[in-house]
Amino acid sequence: MAKLIIQIPCLNEAATLPQTLADLPRRITGIDTLELLVVDDGSTDGTAEVARAHGVDHVVRFRAHKGLAAAFTAGLDAALKHGADYIVNTDADNQYAGADVEKLVQPLLAGAADIVIGDRNIGALRHLPLSRRWLQRIGSWVVRQVSNTRVPDTTSGFRAYTREAALRQTVVSEFSYTLETIIQAGKKRMAIAHVPVATNRKTRPSRLFDSVFTYVKQSAATIVRIYALYEPLKVFMAIGASAFTIGFAISLRFLYFYFTGSGTGHLQSLILSAVLLIVGFQIMLIGLLADVMSANRKLTEELLYRVRSIELAGAAHSAPADTAPAPAAAAPDTPVAARDAADAGRRHG
Ligand SMILES: Nc1nc2c(ncn2[C@@H]2O[C@H](COP(=O)(O)OP(=O)(O)O)[C@@H](O)[C@H]2O)c(=O)[nH]1
Ligand SMILES: [Mg+2]
């Protein structure tokens, strides 16, 4: 009995959600139960009500706006609680062709992948401005380099996870989950596949990409931060060694002048080299410290994974099978609160 839950993170999507839902398949070969889950990120346009009225099985509703990354993880959490074997994420603006959900889960069903990313073939998307197409390409290239994966379209929100892969995802950034999850999966050596997917006609302009400058800034910050999280020694050693090397070269120059008898008048370069040597050395030490801390984070992630597994196994025994959508959404919000607590713990840890 394989169960697939399709999750849709939403922020004020009452207008386009019905269209998106209508476009999604109701049956997929190899899947016995297919359910829909909407994460309403504190929408003010009645998105949650629209979702329920259109037969969405589960609605997770935040009372305040928390951002896409939080909505994505809350969706995964809720889908796991509802017993999903496979989870597909898609966007509420009907950007991705619903029929391709089937293509997306095929590698999972075949046991060939842990995560499948839908590839929109960005270069060919004529409705996107050229600047955005190029930025996405460059961004995807950078993410491929730092994650050691071959995902062509790293910002794609159309993706599928196995239960196991969803259990192992821990998102710490707030801007967007798309890049972080791929770097993380690559660093954890999960099997990431990609399939070409079709896109529908554009329903509304992108909300995540309103200004090129903020988009690039946020994406770059996410990539650097997540890479440093997984490869702290490499990052700090590179920075520290550069400073140290420059300082060393300058000190050699000073020593040359000193021993050839013209050491006076080179005090400035001596100070500069000393500062660079000290700073470089300190940065390398910070790298060692960060490396020790990252070992800790790995343990915390493993612990989180096991706790989640136990929690879910317990829930499967005690809770009655979930049927109707919760009326006041009090129940679906609880796991989110629990996750937030875990999140806060992780951030301080
Ligand atoms: N929960 C949540 N979802 C969001 C937020 N911003 C965008 N989304 C959702 O993310 C998906 C993609 O957003 P969109 O504006 O189409 O970005 P695009 O990927 O550039 O096309 C849609 O389903 C949106 O409803 C947010 O702040 N919170
Ligand atoms: Mg969109």
If asked whether residues 119 and 183 sit together in one domain, one would say yes
If asked whether residues 217 and 235 sit together in one domain, one would say no
- How many Å lie between the centroid of ligand 1 and the Cα of residue 47? 13
Which of 170, 200, 229 is where one domain is finished? Answer: 229
Residue nearest to atom 2 of ligand 1 (CA): 68
For the chain, where are the E strands, in sequence order?
3-10, 33-41, 58-62, 86-89, 115-119, 159-162, 192-196
If asked whether residues 129 and 177 sit together in one domain, one would say yes
Pick the atom of ligand 1 nearest to 206's CA: 15
Residue 127 belongs to a domain: yes
Residue 347 belongs to a domain: no
57 touches ligand 1 (CB under 6 Å): no
Pick the atom of ligand 1 nearest to 10's CA: 25
If asked whether residues 316 and 268 sit together in one domain, one would say yes
Residue 276 belongs to a domain: yes
If asked whether residues 158 and 262 sit together in one domain, one would say no
Q: What is the CATH number of the domain that holds 36?
A: 3.90.550.10
If asked whether residues 57 and 161 sit together in one domain, one would say yes
208 touches ligand 1 (CB under 6 Å): yes
207 touches ligand 1 (CB under 6 Å): yes
Asked if residue 330 has pLDDT above 70, the reply is no
Residue 40: strand, helix, or coil? strand
If asked whether residues 210 and 238 sit together in one domain, one would say no
If asked whether residues 185 and 251 sit together in one domain, one would say no
Residue nearest to atom 20 of ligand 1 (CA): 206
Residue 349 belongs to a domain: no
Question: What's the pLDDT band for 335 if we cut at 50, 70, 90?
Answer: very low
If asked whether residues 199 and 269 sit together in one domain, one would say no
- How many Å lie between the centroid of ligand 2 and the Cα of residue 95? 5
93 touches ligand 1 (CB under 6 Å): yes
209 touches ligand 1 (CB under 6 Å): yes
Pick the atom of ligand 1 nearest to 204's CA: 16
Question: What's the pLDDT band for 347 if we cut at 50, 70, 90?
Answer: very low
Write out the DSSP string of 321-340. Answer: PP-SPPSSSHHHHHHHHHHH
68 touches ligand 1 (CB under 6 Å): yes
**pLDDT computed for residue 315 by the predictor:** 79
Domain extent for 269: 231-342
**pLDDT computed for residue 318 by the predictor:** 63
Residue nearest to atom 27 of ligand 1 (CA): 67
Residue 328 belongs to a domain: yes
- How many Å lie between the centroid of ligand 2 and the Cα of residue 272? 51
If asked whether residues 203 and 256 sit together in one domain, one would say no
Which of 195, 229, 263 is where one domain is finished? Answer: 229
- How many Å lie between the centroid of ligand 1 and the Cα of residue 172? 18
Question: What's the pLDDT band for 126 if we cut at 50, 70, 90?
Answer: confident
41 touches ligand 1 (CB under 6 Å): yes
If asked whether residues 165 and 291 sit together in one domain, one would say no
pTM value?
Answer: 0.84
Pick the atom of ligand 1 nearest to 41's CA: 1
If asked whether residues 302 and 223 sit together in one domain, one would say no
Pick the atom of ligand 1 nearest to 71's CA: 1
Residue 287 belongs to a domain: yes
51 touches ligand 1 (CB under 6 Å): no
Amino acid identity of residue 114, one-letter, is D
Residue 151: strand, helix, or coil? coil
Write out the DSSP string of 276-311. Answer: HHHHHHHHHHHHHHHHHHHHHHHHHHHHHHHHHHHH
- How many Å lie between the centroid of ligand 2 and the Cα of residue 91? 7
Asked if residue 113 has pLDDT above 90, the reply is yes
Residue 294 belongs to a domain: yes
69 touches ligand 1 (CB under 6 Å): no
**pLDDT computed for residue 324 by the predictor:** 43
- Total structural domains within the chain: 2
Asked if residue 160 has pLDDT above 50, the reply is yes
Q: Which of 10-14, 118-122, 162-166, 321-325 has the lowest mean pLDDT?
A: 321-325
Question: What's the pLDDT band for 341 if we cut at 50, 70, 90?
Answer: very low
Structure tokens at 188: 């954890």
Which of 229, 262, 294 is where one domain is finished? Answer: 229
Residue 348 belongs to a domain: no
Q: Which of 196-200, 221-225, 317-321 has the lowest mean pLDDT?
A: 317-321
Question: What's the pLDDT band for 317 if we cut at 50, 70, 90?
Answer: low
Nearest to 120 by CA among 103, 107, 106: 103
Pick the atom of ligand 1 nearest to 62's CA: 1
9 touches ligand 1 (CB under 6 Å): yes
Separation in Å, CA 87 to CA 111, 114, 224: 14, 11, 28
